[in-house]
Amino acid sequence: MSQPTVPEPDAILLFHMLRIRRRSAAEWCLWLLWLIVLVLLAEFALTSLGEHERQAGILSSMLALGWLLGGIIVEVMKSIALRDNADMVGLDGETDTSGVRHSGNQP
């Protein structure tokens, strides 16, 4: 039988860098609502431009673009906040209130 292998230190660090975050049901519902509104605005924009209604098409296109960028910004800011919170909690589960980031289990 082959002996079990010990992962490389770089592989262990990569493992700790990748985190899967679970979302609550309310958050999934909000993202679904965001997607529905985005699809409706995009459909309205394309239909308006197809019917040569330039003002309505441009307005709904800009609303759809703003809605898309807003959702992206919200997700990026939440991931940054979660990463900062995870850095403040050590591997032993104790919160570091000093604001200094420690690597591993160092004091």
Contacts of 90 (CB under 8 A, 6+ apart): 96, 102, 105
**Domain regions of the chain by residue span:** 25-88
Q: Are residues 101 and 88 in contact, defined by beta-carbon separation less than 8 angstroms?
A: yes
For residue 7, what pLDDT is reported? 58
For residue 78, what pLDDT is reported? 86
Show the tokens assigned to 18. 């990748």
Q: Render each residue's pLDDT in the chain as its tens digit; 107 residues.
A: 567 666 565 555 555 555 566 778 888 899 999 999 999 999 999 999 999 999 999 999 999 999 999 999 998 898 888 777 666 655 445 555 555 555 555 55
Q: Looking at the chain, how many residues does it have? A: 107
Model pTM? 0.58
